[in-house]
Amino acid sequence: MTVKLAVLEHRLLTTASTETVNQSYIVVKQGIRHLLSCFPLNGNGWMRSAMSTMRMEGPTESVMHEVELSELTSPREGWLLGSRIPFLISLSQTQDPRAIEALNNDLDTLFRWMPEWQVRAIFEAVGDYGKSIMRARFSAGNADVIAAMDPDRLELLYRIMGLKFPEKDCARYFRRLKTCVGRR
């Protein structure tokens, strides 16, 4: 499957004829259909299907349905989040609430459970727009996740994302309430 997707991507990026690109897309969709007929709970298969459909057809209802199926059936593991998050960041530009919700869920999982090297690798791979989304979600959008984090992990994630750790500016910082009392 990975090789078929790489061939399709290569043909899209080169000056391949429309017929050649369409043939590659058909081969990819047949391979994904076969994979999902054997393993319908393969969340990675649903995500790859959404990615190929998005690449060829744009943000259709089919893409959103496949993203939802992927979210329901994917394990929350770093190797999957590494491909899901960049894709969902690009899909979130459509402002579809389902894409934004799926992205926020994956970012919360990334921040809370994944090793720092995976957080750093994904953060460095997503470009300026993706970094701004990750920073916004981390700093404001997930108070429950942040409140449950170990203070050392929290400080490390602030550093990875180039954010100033709030505690450093406060005379007293209440992490669970996200409240700063007095300034240094």
| Mean pLDDT to the nearest integer, 56-81 | 90
The two structure tokens encoding residue 77: 């593991």
End-to-end CA distance of the chain: 56
Query: Residues 13-62: pLDDT tens digits?
Result: 887 788 888 888 889 899 999 999 999 999 999 999 999 999 899 999 99
pLDDT band at 8 (very low <50, low <70, confident <90, very high): confident
| Mean pLDDT to the nearest integer, 96-118 | 92
Residue 174, pLDDT score: 55
Asked if residue 134 has pLDDT above 60, the reply is yes
Residue 79, pLDDT score: 84
What distance lies between CA 102 and its chain's CA centroid? 8
Asked if residue 76 has pLDDT above 90, the reply is no
**What is the residue type of 69?**
L
Residue 177, pLDDT score: 55
Q: How far is CA 7 from CA 2, 52, 99, 152, 169, in A?
A: 9, 12, 26, 43, 51
Which helix (H) or strand (E) is 171 found in, with range?
strand 170-174
| Mean pLDDT to the nearest integer, 134-144 | 78
Asked if residue 183 has pLDDT above 70, the reply is no
Mutual orientation of helices 43-57 and 78-92 as an angle, nearest 10°? 30
| Mean pLDDT to the nearest integer, 159-165 | 86
Q: How far is CA 37 from CA 2, 78, 96, in A?
A: 17, 25, 28
The two structure tokens encoding residue 59: 């943000």
Asked if residue 65 has pLDDT above 50, the reply is yes
For the chain, give the mean pLDDT: 84
Which region holds residue 18: left if phi is over 0, alpha if psi is between -120 and 50, else beta?
A: alpha
Mutual orientation of helices 61-73 and 43-57 as an angle, nearest 10°? 160
